[in-house]
C-alpha cells in the first residue's frame, strides 16, 4: 500500500494539471464543460477513493498470487511477452468486470458513482468508488494466472491501466480516425456515459475497443444523437459518499419491503434497475423519461460558497499528499484516524454544497476534533518535523472550517433548497 501511496504522489498532481488545462481551454474557446460544484464533487470523490485504496480498506475474496500458485500451467519467459499478456489479461478482465457492473443490481452500486455526474469532463473520470469493498477482480485474471504471469507484473500494470483511462473523459476531442478501431477514444466513452436509449450499456472497454466489437456492445457516437449525461435515477446530491451507497440503500429498502421471499434474495442479482413488482408501484423512484429535457441538479451557490468549496477541496488534497508522503511514519492506526478526518471533511463540505443544515454540525465536530487532536498531541501527524508552523496552520484551517460551516448554514443559506445558481 505504501508503494501505491508513493505512486499517487506523482499521479495526483499530473491529473490536476490536466484538469486545469481542460478548464482553461474551455474558458478560452468559450466552451466550458466544467461547473464549480460538480467539479469539486468529482475531485472529492476521487480523493475518497485514493484514501480508501491506500489504506487497503476492504475484504479480498481471492488474491491473484493465490490463483497464480494454484492455477499456473506454464510460465511466460520472454519479457515482452509477459508484459503483453499481462496488459491484454487486465484489459479483458476490465471489460467483463465493467460489463458485470452495468448489468447486475448489486454490482451497479460500486459503479454508479462514476456515472453520477451530469457533466462529462476530466473531473468526471475521478469519480471512483469507495463501495467496492469486496475484492473479487482477480477472478477475471484467471487467464493470466494460467499463463503464469508474475504477480509483480500485474501489480505494476494494473494502476497504469487504471490511470490510462483518465484522458478520454473529455468533450474537446472529436473522433480520432483509424484509432477508433483499436483503442477507446473520447467519442466512444462519451457514448458510454450517455443515458440516451441508443447508448445505454455500450462501449464497456477500458483501453482496447476490440472487446466491444467482438462481444456486441460497441456503439459509435451518432451526429444526430448528442449524448446526455448522468444516470436515469438522478442522485440529487454533490456528496460523493452518499452517492456511493445510494443504490445499495434502495436495494435494501426494496428487499425489506417486498413480501416475496424469493424477491428478497434475487433482487441483488437481477438486471440493473429491476425491482419487485409489489414495491415498484407503491414506492416509485424518479426516473428520467426525456433525456433532453430534465432538470439537472444544481443548488444555490454564491461565488463565496464556490470559492470556499474549492478552498476546502484544495486543503483536503494537500492533507492527503502529506499523508502519502509521511505514510510509513504515521503508522496504520494514525493513517486510519487521518483517513477518518478526510472522509468526514469531504462529507461535511459537500453537504454544505448541498445546502444541508446538518452540514454545520458535521463541520463543527470536525473542527473541534481537529483542534483537540492537535492540542493533545502537540502536532498534526508529524507535520511539524517538516514545517515548524504546520500544525498551527492546520489548527487555523479547522477554525475556518467551523466558522465557514456556521456562515454558510445559518447566514448565507438559501431558503429554497434547489434553485438554479447561474
CA distance 49 to 166: 15
Closest CA to 93 of 26, 30, 162: 162
Average per-residue pLDDT in the chain?
A: 93
Query: Per the domain annotation, does 297 fall within a domain?
Result: no
pLDDT tens across 209-235, in order?
A: 999 999 999 999 999 999 999 999 999
Q: Is the pLDDT of residue 301 over 70?
A: yes
- Among the candidates 155, 172, 189, a domain finishes at 172
Closest CA to 87 of 125, 135, 141: 141
Q: Is the pLDDT of residue 420 over 90?
A: no
Please give the average per-residue pLDDT across 328-348, as a whole number. 96
Lowest mean pLDDT among 26-40, 142-156, 336-350, 353-367: 142-156
Domain span including residue 28: 2-172
pLDDT confidence band for 73 (50 / 70 / 90): confident
pLDDT confidence band for 58 (50 / 70 / 90): confident
Please give the average per-residue pLDDT across 174-178, as a whole number. 97
Query: Per the domain annotation, does 272 fall within a domain?
Result: no
Query: Per the domain annotation, does 237 fall within a domain?
Result: no
> Could you give the C-alpha distances from 21 to 15, 173, 231, in angstroms and in order?
10, 13, 27
pLDDT tens across 187-217, in order?
A: 999 999 999 999 999 999 999 999 999 999 9
Q: Which range has highest mean pLDDT (49-58, 63-72, 166-175)?
A: 166-175
- Among the candidates 172, 201, 218, a domain finishes at 172
Please give the average per-residue pLDDT across 246-253, as a whole number. 97
Query: Per the domain annotation, does 416 fall within a domain?
Result: no
Query: Per the domain annotation, does 346 fall within a domain?
Result: yes
Please give the average per-residue pLDDT across 134-151, as a whole number. 91
For residue 386, the number of C-alpha atoms closer than 13 Å in the C-beta half-sphere is: 12
Cα(first)–Cα(last) distance of the chain, in Å?
A: 42
Q: What is the 3-state secondary structure (H, E, C) of the chain?
A: CHHHHHHHHHHHHHHHHHHHHHHHHHHHCCCCCCCHHHHHHHHHHHHHHHHHHHCCCCEECCCHHHHHHHHCCCCCCCHHHHHHHHHHHHHHHHHHHHHHHHHCHHHHCCCHHHHCCCCCCHHHHHCCCCCCCEECHHHHHHHHHHHCCCHHHHHHHHHHHHHCCCCCCCCCCCCCHHHHHCECCHHHHHHHHECCCCCCCCCCCCCECHHHHHHCCCCCCCCCCCCCECCCCCCCCCCHHHHHHHHHHHHHHHHHHCCCHHHHHHHHHCCCCCCCHHHHCCCCCCCCCCCCCCCCCCCCCCHHHHHHHHHHHHHHHHHHHHHHHCHHHHHHHHHHHHHHHHHHHHHHHHHHHCCCCHHHHHHHHHHHHHHHHHHHHCCCCCHHHCCCCHHHHHHHHHHHHHHHHHHHHHHCCCCCCCCCCC
CA distance 335 to 253: 34
Query: Per the domain annotation, does 111 fall within a domain?
Result: yes
High-pLDDT (> 90) share of the chain, %: 86
CA distance 230 to 249: 19
For residue 122, the number of C-alpha atoms closer than 13 Å in the C-beta half-sphere is: 21
Please give the average per-residue pLDDT across 297-320, as a whole number. 96
Q: How many domains does the chain have?
A: 2
Query: Per the domain annotation, does 274 fall within a domain?
Result: no
Lowest mean pLDDT among 131-135, 141-145, 157-161: 131-135
Q: Is the pLDDT of residue 418 over 60?
A: no
Query: Per the domain annotation, does 60 fall within a domain?
Result: yes
- Among the candidates 113, 137, 172, a domain finishes at 172
Q: Is the pLDDT of residue 417 over 50?
A: no
High-pLDDT (> 70) share of the chain, %: 96
Q: Can you give the pLDDT at residue 3?
A: 67
Amino acid at each position: 500500500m505504501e508503494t501505491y501511496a508513493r505512486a499517487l504522489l506523482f499521479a495526483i498532481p499530473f491529473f490536476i494539471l490536466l484538469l486545469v488545462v481542460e478548464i482553461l481551454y474551455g474558458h478560452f474557446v468559450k466552451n466550458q464543460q466544467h461547473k464549480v460544484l460538480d467539479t469539486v464533487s468529482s475531485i472529492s470523490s476521487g480523493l475518497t477513493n485514493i484514501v480508501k485504496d491506500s489504506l487497503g480498506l476492504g475484504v479480498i475474496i481471492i488474491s491473484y498470487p493465490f490463483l497464480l500458485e494454484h492455477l499456473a500451467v506454464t510460465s511466460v519467459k520472454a519479457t515482452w511477452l509477459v508484459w503483453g499478456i499481462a496488459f491484454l489479461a487486465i484489459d479483458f478482465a476490465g471489460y467483463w468486470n465493467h460489463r458485470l457492473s452495468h448489468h447486475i443490481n448489486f454490482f451497479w452500486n460500486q459503479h454508479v458513482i462514476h456515472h453520477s455526474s451530469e457533466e462529462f469532463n476530466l473531473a468526471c473520470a475521478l469519480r471512483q468508488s469507495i463501495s467496492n469493498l469486496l475484492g473479487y477482480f482477480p477472478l477475471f485474471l484467471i487467464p493470466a494466472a494460467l499463463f503464469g504471469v508474475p504477480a509483480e507484473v500485474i501489480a505494476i500494470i494494473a494502476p497504469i491501466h487504471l490511470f490510462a483511462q483518465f484522458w478520454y473523459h473529455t468533450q474537446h476531442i472529436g473522433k480520432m480516425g483509424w484509432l477508433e478501431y483499436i483503442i477507446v477514444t473520447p467519442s466512444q466513452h462519451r457514448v458510454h456515459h450517455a443515458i440516451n436509449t441508443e447508448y445505454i450499456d455500450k462501449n464497456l472497454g477500458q483501453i482496447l475497443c476490440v472487446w466491444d466489437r467482438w462481444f456486441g456492445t460497441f456503439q459509435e457516437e451518432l451526429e444526430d444523437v448528442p449524448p446526455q449525461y448522468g444516470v436515469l435515477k438522478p442522485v440529487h446530491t454533490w456528496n460523493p459518499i452518499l452517492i456511493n451507497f445510494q443504490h445499495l440503500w434502495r436495494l435494501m429498502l426494496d428487499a425489506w419491503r417486498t413480501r416475496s421471499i424469493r424477491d428478497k434474495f434475487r433482487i441483488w442479482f437481477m438486471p440493473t434497475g429491476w425491482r419487485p413488482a409489489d414495491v415498484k408501484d407503491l414506492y416509485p423512484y424518479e426516473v428520467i423519461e426525456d433525456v433532453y429535457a430534465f432538470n439537472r441538479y444544481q443548488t444555490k451557490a454564491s461565488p463565496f460558497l464556490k470559492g470556499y468549496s474549492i478552498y476546502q477541496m484544495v486543503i483536503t488534497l494537500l492533507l492527503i499528499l502529506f499523508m502519502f508522503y509521511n505514510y510509513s511514519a504515521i503508522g496504520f492506526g494514525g493513517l486510519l484516524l487521518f483517513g477518518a478526518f478526510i472522509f468526514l471533511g469531504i462529507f461535511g463540505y459537500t453537504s454544505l454544497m448541498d445546502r444541508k443544515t446538518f452540514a454545520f454540525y458535521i463541520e463543527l465536530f470536525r473542527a473541534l476534533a481537529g483542534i483537540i487532536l492537535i492540542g493533545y498531541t502537540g502536532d498534526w501527524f508529524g507535520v511539524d518535523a517538516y514545517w515548524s508552523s504546520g500544525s498551527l496552520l492546520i489548527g487555523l484551517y479547522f477554525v475556518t472550517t467551523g466558522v465557514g460551516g456556521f456562515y454558510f448554514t445559518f447566514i448565507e443559506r438559501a431558503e429554497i433548497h434547489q434553485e438554479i445558481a447561474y
